[in-house]
Structure 1
Amino acid sequence: MAVKRAKYLVADDEYHFVTDDKALRVLDSNNNEIGTFRELGFEGKLITSGDYRDIKHTGVYRIKGVGGLPGNIPGDKESILTVTSIGDQNNPELTFYKVISPNGVILENTVSRSNQSGWGSGGVDLRNTITNINNILGDISKLQTDSKNMTGAINELNFKINNVSDNSQSGLESLKKDSDNRYLFKWGDTVNGDLSIKFGAKYKLRGKNGHDYNLASIDDNNNIHIGDADTNLHFWGNENPTFNGKKIFTEANVGSGSGLDADKLDGIDSSGFLKTNSDDTKYSGLRMDKRNIHFNIKDGENTETGLVFDKNNNWTAKVVATDIGDVHIQTGGKEYKLPPFTFNQDRN
């Protein structure tokens, strides 16, 4: 087919010819036909095979079953592919591809020789992405900050946060003043009223091992429990701890001078012992089972002691100890001097 490139002049007038765009053919540099002007400019040239990168000439294409496209581009339906190339159309410097599918997905890719940007979303995908971002961000105009754009609002909040010192007592006190004083502050606070723990619940202390130990609790019978069976319990105080206002005796404060008044000694009631600091009465026999025990009788500076036997407090017998150690027994007005003697075992 002949190609006319000359101008047509008639009597110095330039003539323009009206040509059918379907009849106007587009050729490559080797005079091979690429398509009609109507196909490449308006209707789209139909391509049903090969790879999309085989299409390098600028124009509009109808593609179906073409390889190399992303998976969200249906291969069984026609899509619109627009190609814009610069440089040699057979080997362009840069080619921009844009594909529009029937499902509303719009993808773009830029190819420069052997390099490509990769397919990027547009159309429905881009709109859905923007919608998701807006849903996450919310209505920016409702920001309760002086700045109503995201960057400015973040910088404003960051400035306020940096001015609060979490590591200083002053910062903590300032935070406490701004908080609701009905609640306890986690890092230390003062309770101004009674604090009750319901029965069945326990006031616990957490050990270094991460285990919680009972410190105090009350059961549903109103019995108070102190301590935990899984650990030792230590009470601390001054040298005179009390229970119900009475002194508590321990190994540190018992003994002489403690004022401890025990009911029994080795299981024997206090009434079972003879007093040494006052008169006392023995209601059973006195047995001295050890030999060579000296029985000395002395009362202050006096050398005799009377033993009263009758109910009228009149003595009927008396033991007298002299200055030189002699023992006399007086009974019925008679006096008997005893020779030196010892108490033998099994004697009363």
Structure 2
Amino acid sequence: MAVQKVRQNYHDGTGFNVLHYETQAKQVKILDDSGNITSNIEESLLKGKYIEDLDLDTVKATGIYRVKGGLNLPSGMDSSKVYMMFVTAVENEDESSLVRQEFYDHVNLNLHERSIEGPVVTPWLNAGKSTLDRISAAEQSINKIYNTIQDLRTDIDTNSSGIFENKSDISTIFDKLSTHNHDSRYLKLSGGSLKGETSISNNTSFSGKNTSGVSLNLAKINGTNQVVIGDGGAKLLLDADVGDVSIRNQVGDTFPIFHMGNMGSGSKMDADKLDGVEGNQYARLDKENFFKQNIRLDEGKSVFIKAEEGVSRPGGLYFRSGDNAPRGRIRPTEDGDIELAAGEDNVLGLTVLKNGDTQTWHDHILNAKDRQVALRFKLNDKDKGAGFYMNNGSKQVGFYDWEFGGRLFSSDREDQMVKFDNAIKIQGHQVSIQRSAPSGASDGDIWFSI
């Protein structure tokens, strides 16, 4: 939609004056060169314009943006998160555009920036915190390497004479190891027993091979310091005397592991609980239940209220206050109507009859406090309808046809008058109040010339 530029004048009795308006920032529109709305002041300069799955190479208008996903973002950005981007655009002397984009990564505290000059897009430059961290870390590494080199030079100068002396000793030891028959201090590949504590590296398995020669995990300490026993590719069998298996906590208390072999009497299982919850906390089918939390039905499921066998009237929904006072109900009748009642006395306000009609003994109140309200009558599903309305601005009550866009009459609550927008007919004769004679007049019609 193109926005037209307009200036309004009014005459104060002496001459024409220009009207000036105050408005909100979001009402001030930003137009492109063709006069089309692209944004508003509040979105572009205050709250940030939201863009999703857009090529950032095409974002060249000055403003603040909230960016989610899209193309040509700085590397490493999470497409599910919203980032801030600031764009400043100016015009070169040759009338081409010069754009500066700043992209703020609030997750890693990095700032990325680049320029777009005409059709030329430069790569993103990381000008944020991580660059300084890498420079600092590199300086520290260089200093460590330099100190290590200095230490090595000192050791070489000190021990250069000993190197040649140890070379002969190393050769002798190598000869002894190649011919040595290991004694009881070493574990053989077959047989032997360990006499002290033995450990393996973290997240390294102590494994065994299955009948096909495939290695399976027996036990290990994983990367999150959990003890893992068994392998996901094989069944786990625990051997224990009479199936008595227990676990022990850090203070030495032991607790039995329940299984099908030790359930029932004598198993010490807490039989009155389910998932650690007392039995009286569960709903029962044979008694009235008092729920203390919301009841939700997901996946399109329904609630069915059925009468007992031989009874035609099922139960209803009753609403009560904290002190058990009635506040309303929804209840069917024996004939199949639905009654809606309210208040402590359950005053019947509306009945939905089984044939689809609604019936009430009280007023229908349409409150026009915040918006215009209406009562429409429609000929079919596609018809927009015609009927009565009350406008919260003009305070009018009138009759309007939404299908054909015409108002038949309205009432002025200030002067208590009924106003007709068009000619009216009384007992088949038309009454017209207009300057020129109405066309198609017939006998009995009345025309008031003004």
Looking at both structures, which has the greater relative contact order when contacts are Cα pairs under 8 Å and sequence separation is at least 6?
A: 1
Normalising to structure 1: TM-score of the pair?
Answer: 0.35
TM-score using structure 2 length = 0.28
| Larger Cα-atom Rg | 1
